[in-house]
């Protein structure tokens, strides 16, 4: 898989921000058609602990991630399976559980070691920690872990396809 740069991620965000509601829905529909299992997973009870705002934010972040990876890959990617998602998610939770740091940001350091898609990982980290000191932050303390792990899992399974 080619490297997904910060510029590609920012270009995708800029393009999505310029879409009308109808165009955005069309992008989400394209995502759901291209990755039906992943899309269903994002809307599953698996994420019931998240607030409604967090669920919507995760879906937006997943769309950015999928779009950026697809763009760098030169178009279509194979659809991922439930097993691929489950295995990657389990590996990611194992990495997180073996971290002893008390600070969440420090617990994420292990994910960056020798990781090829560092910019996508930094994007996920920034998204969950953007306003960590703001009590009115979109992502709650409880939401950080499942959102980060979900995004890391998406990156893992999609980049393994190329």
Give the residue carrying structure tokens 């489950």: 86
Q: What is the pLDDT of residues 39-65, one digit of tens each?
A: 999 999 999 999 999 999 999 999 999
pLDDT at residue 28 in the model: 97
The average confidence (pLDDT) of the chain is: 94
Q: Does position 69 have pLDDT exceeding 90, yes or no?
A: yes
Give the residue carrying structure tokens 């659809």: 79
pLDDT at residue 133 in the model: 59
pLDDT at residue 134 in the model: 64
pLDDT confidence band for 114 (50 / 70 / 90): very high
Q: Does position 135 have pLDDT exceeding 70, yes or no?
A: no
What tokens appear for 80 in the block?
Answer: 């991922």
- Taking CA atoms, 28 is separated from 13, 23, 60, 63, in Å, by 14, 9, 9, 7
How many whole angstroms separate alpha carbon 8 and alpha carbon 85?
A: 24
Q: Does position 101 have pLDDT exceeding 60, yes or no?
A: yes
pLDDT at residue 130 in the model: 75
- Taking CA atoms, 143 is separated from 41, 57, 95, in Å, by 16, 11, 18
Q: Judge contact between 161 and 80, C-beta under 8 A.
A: yes
pTM for the model stands at: 0.94
């Amino acid at each position: 898989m080619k490297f997904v740069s910060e510029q590609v991620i920012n270009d995708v965000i800029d393009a999505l921000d310029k879409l009308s509601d109808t165009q955005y829905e069309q992008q989400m529909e394209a995502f759901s058609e291209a990755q039906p299992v992943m899309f269903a997973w994002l809307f599953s009870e698996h994420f019931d602990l998240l607030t409604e705002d967090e669920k919507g934010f995760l879906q937006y972040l997943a769309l950015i991630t999928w779009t950026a990876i697809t763009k760098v890959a030169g178009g279509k990617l194979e659809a991922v399976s439930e097993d691929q998602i489950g295995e990657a998610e389990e590996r990611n939770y194992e990495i997180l559980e073996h971290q002893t740091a008390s600070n969440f940001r420090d617990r994420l350091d292990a994910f960056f070691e020798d990781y090829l898609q560092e910019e996508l990982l930094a994007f996920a980290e920034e998204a969950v920690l953007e306003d960590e000191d703001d009590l009115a932050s979109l992502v709650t303390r409880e939401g950080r872990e499942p959102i980060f792990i979900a995004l890391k899992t998406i990156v893992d399974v999609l980049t393994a396809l190329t």
